[in-house]
Structure 1
Amino acid sequence: MPTSVPYVVAVDAGGTQTRVGCFTLEGVLLARQVGAGGSPSHNHTAAENVCSTIAAAVTSGGLAVEDAVAMTAGVAGYPIDGDADWIGTFFDGCALTCPQHVVNDAVIAHRGALAGEPGIIVVGGTGSMVAAITADGTVLGSGRFQHYAGGARHLVYDVMHRILLGEHVDADRKLVETVLAWWGAGDVTDLRRIALGLGGKDYNDVKRRYGGLAPAVTAAVDTSPLADGAVTRLAEKTAVGVRLLAPLVSDIAVPVALAGALATDPGFADRISRLLSAGSAPSIRTAEAVLDPLGGAALMALQTAGVPMTPQVLSRLQFARVR
C-alpha cells in the first residue's frame, strides 16, 4: 500500500536528462528518479519522458498520487519570461492532480543556487541560459538583449570549425585524434565529409552527437590550446550576458551562480569567474550554489504549498542534494 503522506514534486527537465524528487513538507527527500531528457527543444518525446520519470519517482517512494500537494517543474525550452501553447498539454500524461507550476529550468536553478535571493544564474549544459531575478522578483533572460552564449554543442562547433580550417598545433594532436575517433573519421578530409553528411539526419540527434563531445574538450583545456581557446571564447560570450543583466539586479554587488555540467566544469568555471571578477560596476562575484536545481524546484513547490522557508527546511533540502 502506498504511504499516505503529503508531499511535493520537484522536476528538473533538461535536454540530457530529467530529474524528479518527491519531498515531505518538512523538506525530507522521499524518492528520486532520473529519466531521459525533458526539453521539447532537444527531445521529441519530452513530455513522455517527464511523466514517466515522475511516475517512477512516485512508485519508488511508495507514495500515493493523490497525496501530492504541489509540483514545480523547471523545463528547458520553456520561455523564461512568457508562456508557451505546448505547455497546456505537456503534463496530460501524468497522473498528478495537484497545482502545477512550470518555469524555465534556469528559474529553478536560480532559486536553488541563491536560495531565492536576487542575482544571476548561468546555466550551461545541453543548452544555455543566463538569467537574472531582481529584488522585486522579475525574471529576465539575456535573450532580451538578443544575447545567447551557447551550450555544449556550440563549444564543439568551435573546435571542429578550427580543425577543419587547419587552425591547430602539435599540442592539439591528442584532442584532434579524439574528435576524429568520435566521428569515426580517418582524417580531417573524412571529418569534413561526415559533417556534411549530417544534413539529412534528425536535428535533435545531431545536436546530441555534437554535445556529447564537449566533456573531451573541457578535459583538454590545460593541455590543448585549441580546447583552451574554445572554452575561453564561450566563457567570454557568457560573461557578456551576465554583464548585460547585472545592472538590473544591483548597482553595487551582484552574485552569480553556475549550474549545469558545462557551466560547473572546473575549466569553464575558472575562466568565467576570472572574467567576471575583473573590475566593473556593479561588482560581480561567483557564488557557491546553496541548492542544486532540483532543490530549487522543491523550494518553489514547498512555497506553493504554503510551507515557510525555515533554516531547518533549507538544511534538509541541502542534505538531499548530497545523498
Structure 2
Amino acid sequence: MTKVTPSGWVLGVDGGGSHTRAALAAPDGHVQGPWTVGGSNPNDQPRWAEHLTELLRPLLEATPDLQAATLGLAGYGELAPGRAATEQLLAGLLPEALPRELLNDVQIAHFGALGGGPGVLLLAGTGSIAWGRDGAGQERRVGGWGFSFGDEGSGAWLGREALGLISRTLDGRADAQALTTALLAALGLERDPAYLTRPLLGWVQAQAHPRSAIAQLARPLADLAAQGDPDALALLERAGQQLAAHVRACAAALRLDVPARWSAAGSVATSPLVLDATERALPEFERVPPLLPPLGGALLRAAGLAGWPVPDRWTTEVARQLSGATAGSS
C-alpha cells in the first residue's frame, strides 16, 4: 500500500483576554506566524468579534490547503450567550468542511504544556484559572470566576490590588509612596496636590474595557518589584500564593499522585517573581517546563485532528520556532 504523505497546513489560535495569536504549521513542523490582534473573550471584550475576524479572514483566504483548525479562546464554554455568539461567528469564517475544534484557552495550554498527560496547568495572564487532568482522562477546572470577584493572582487582580493600595496611599491610610508615584506615572497621571479632583478614578471610568486596562498595570508593577520595591514585591508574593491555591485545589479534586506535576503559562504565571512565589508555596509538587506554549498546544491538537503523525521532532521544531517568534516580538 502506498503511504500518503501529509500536506498542507493546520491552524492554531490562542485567544486570551488581552491578545489573540494565530499560527500555521506544516507536516514537517515549519511554522508561519504568529500573528497577533486584541483580545477575543466575548464575555468582557466588546471588540472580540472584530479582532477574530481581523485575524482569521485574511489568513484563511491566503491558506487554501488548510487541513484542520483548533481554536482555544478565553471564556469559551463559560456562558451560553458568549459560546453561541462565538460559534456563529466562526461558522461564517471557517470553511464548512474544515475539521475544527473549539476549546477554552486553558485546555490548549494544558495540552501543550503536558502533552495530554496528567497534571495541572496554571494559566494566569489577564485572568487566572487552573486546569487539571488525571491518568484516566478526568478533568477539573479551578478559578476562572472573572474580574468582579475572582481571577486571583492574575494581571487584572494585581492591577486592582495595586489601585487599591494607591488609593489608600493617596488618602493617607497606607504609605506605598514609591509604588504610587511609579504607577501614576505609568498611567500618565499626576498627584493632585489639593486632592480636589480624583484623576485616578477618572482614568478607570474612562476605560472602554477596564479589566484589560487594569491588567496592564501588572507589567510596571513587576518592573518595580524587580527593582526591590517592598510593596510591589509583597503584591507579587500574594499573587503567587493565590495561584498556588488554584493548583493545590485542582490536584486535590482529581486525587493526583504526589508529587503531582504542574506547569505554568501566561504572562503573569511565568513572570519570574510570581513563578518563584508560586513554586515555593507548592513544595510537594513537581513543576515541569511546558512541552509547548498554548499556541503550540492548539497546533498539536490540530495536527492530530488532521490525522497527521506527530513525532517528537515535529513537537521540538514547533516549540523552537514559536519560542524564537516570541523572543523576537517581545
Question: 1:280 aligns to what?
Answer: none
Q: 1:130-162 CA deviation, whole Å, 9 max, x = no partner?
A: 111222223321149997424212102212212
Question: 1:88 aligns to what?
Answer: 87
**Residue aligned with 2:278, SS:** helix
The whole-number CA distance in structure 1 between the counterparts of 2:104 and 2:204 is 29
Question: 1:76 aligns to what?
Answer: 74
- Cα distance, 1:88 vs structure 2: 2.3
The whole-number CA distance in structure 2 between the counterparts of 1:195 and 1:137 is 47
Is the alpha carbon distance of 1:49 and 1:189 closer, same or farther for their aligned partners in structure 2, counting shifts above 3 Å? farther
**Residue aligned with 1:301, SS:** helix
Q: 1:238-288 CA deviation, whole Å, 9 max, x = no partner?
A: 1111111113151322111111111111111111111112xxxxx312211
- Cα distance, 1:163 vs structure 2: 2.6
- Cα distance, 1:191 vs structure 2: 10
The whole-number CA distance in structure 2 between the counterparts of 1:75 and 1:129 is 13
The whole-number CA distance in structure 1 between the counterparts of 2:177 and 2:106 is 36
The whole-number CA distance in structure 2 between the counterparts of 1:245 and 1:147 is 16
Match of 2:37 among 12, 35, 38: 35
Contact 2:13-2:21 at 8 Å conserved across structures:
yes
Q: 1:107-151 CA deviation, whole Å, 9 max, x = no partner?
A: 111111112211111111111111112222233211499974242
Question: 1:46 aligns to what?
Answer: 48
Question: 1:255 aligns to what?
Answer: 261
Is the alpha carbon distance of 1:5 and 1:309 closer, same or farther for their aligned partners in structure 2, counting shifts above 3 Å? closer
The whole-number CA distance in structure 2 between the counterparts of 1:238 and 1:196 is 28
- Cα distance, 1:92 vs structure 2: 3.5
Match of 1:229 among 222, 230, 234: 234
| AA at the equivalent of 2:50 | E
**Residue aligned with 1:18, SS:** strand
**Residue 128 in structure 1 maps to residue 134 in structure 2:** no
- Cα distance, 1:197 vs structure 2: 3.5
| AA at the equivalent of 2:23 | G
Question: 1:16 aligns to what?
Answer: 18
Contact 1:119-1:249 at 8 Å conserved across structures:
no
Is the alpha carbon distance of 1:240 and 1:227 closer, same or farther for their aligned partners in structure 2, counting shifts above 3 Å? same
The whole-number CA distance in structure 2 between the counterparts of 1:134 and 1:309 is 23
Q: Give the gaps of 5 or more residues in structure 2.
A: 1-5, 325-330
Contact 2:166-2:179 at 8 Å conserved across structures:
no
Q: 1:80-107 CA deviation, whole Å, 9 max, x = no partner?
A: 7999333321314424331221111111
Question: 1:300 aligns to what?
Answer: 301
Question: 2:328 aligns to what?
Answer: none
Contact 1:15-1:41 at 8 Å conserved across structures:
no
TM-score by length of 2: 0.83
Q: 1:193-272 alignment to 2 at 5 Å?
A: 193-197=198-202, 201=206, 204=209, 206-222=210-226, 223-247=228-252, 248=254, 250-272=256-278
TM-score by length of 1: 0.85
**Residue 160 in structure 1 maps to residue 151 in structure 2:** no
Question: 1:107 aligns to what?
Answer: 107
Q: Give the gaps of 5 or more residues in structure 1.
A: 278-282
**Residue aligned with 2:238, SS:** helix
Is the alpha carbon distance of 1:108 and 1:8 closer, same or farther for their aligned partners in structure 2, counting shifts above 3 Å? same
Contact 1:135-1:249 at 8 Å conserved across structures:
no
Task: Give percent identity, aligned residues only.
Answer: 26
**Residue aligned with 1:299, SS:** helix
Question: 1:316 aligns to what?
Answer: 317
Root-mean-square deviation (Å):
2.8
| AA at the equivalent of 2:249 | L
